[in-house]
Amino acid sequence: MGMNIVVLTGRLTADPELKYAKSGKAFVKYTLAVNRSYSKDQVDFINCIAWDKVAEIIGKYLRKGSMIGINGRISIRDYEDENNQKRRITEIVTESVEFLESKKDNSKGESYTENNYVEENNNIDVDDDFPF
């Protein structure tokens, strides 16, 4: 038995864009800029995805530069690009988000979680190019 738990804090690198899979499930892809604790000059840019209610909250309330904390898990999936080349992507599946800054639309410390997260979200087809 293993564990796959990720906890990150960082800032959104762009406005998140809420989209819907063919199944009707809401999702949002975003990149989180995370400063390394031992070096102020080094930043990791981490690809993330959220589904359902968490995606709707991220899409509605957060913008480029928003400081958030997330809990989730690492997901590695394979896909074929437009040239039928096999590709692999690693991303963080966001299971909960916490707003770490006070803004008009939300107060510091508000957190949201998706209690009914479904594991098979890894394989949902979308209308758009899915990879980052």
The CATH number covering residue 96 comes to: 2.40.50.140
The answer to whether residue 110 is domain-embedded is no
The answer to whether residue 112 is domain-embedded is no
The answer to whether residue 28 is domain-embedded is yes
Q: Could you list the residue range(s) of the whole structural domain that residue 38 is in? A: 6-103
Mention every residue, 6+ apart, whose C-beta is less than 8 A from residue 73: 4, 5, 6, 92, 93, 95
The structure's pTM equals 0.75
pLDDT at residue 55 in the model: 98
The answer to whether residue 25 is domain-embedded is yes
The answer to whether residue 128 is domain-embedded is no
The answer to whether residue 98 is domain-embedded is yes
Q: pLDDT by residue (tens digit) across 68-90? A: 999 999 999 999 999 999 999 99
**Is pLDDT of 118 > 60?**
no
Q: pLDDT by residue (tens digit) across 91-111? A: 999 999 999 987 554 444 555
The answer to whether residue 62 is domain-embedded is yes
Q: How far apart are CA 29 and CA 130, in angstroms?
A: 9
Name the band, by pLDDT with cuts 50, 70 and 90, for residue 19: very high
pLDDT at residue 101 in the model: 85
pLDDT at residue 102 in the model: 72
Mean pLDDT taken over the chain: 83
Mention every residue, 6+ apart, whose C-beta is less than 8 A from residue 19: 26, 27, 28, 29, 126, 127, 128
- Domain tally for the chain? 1
Contact 70, 1 (CB under 8 A): no
The answer to whether residue 113 is domain-embedded is no
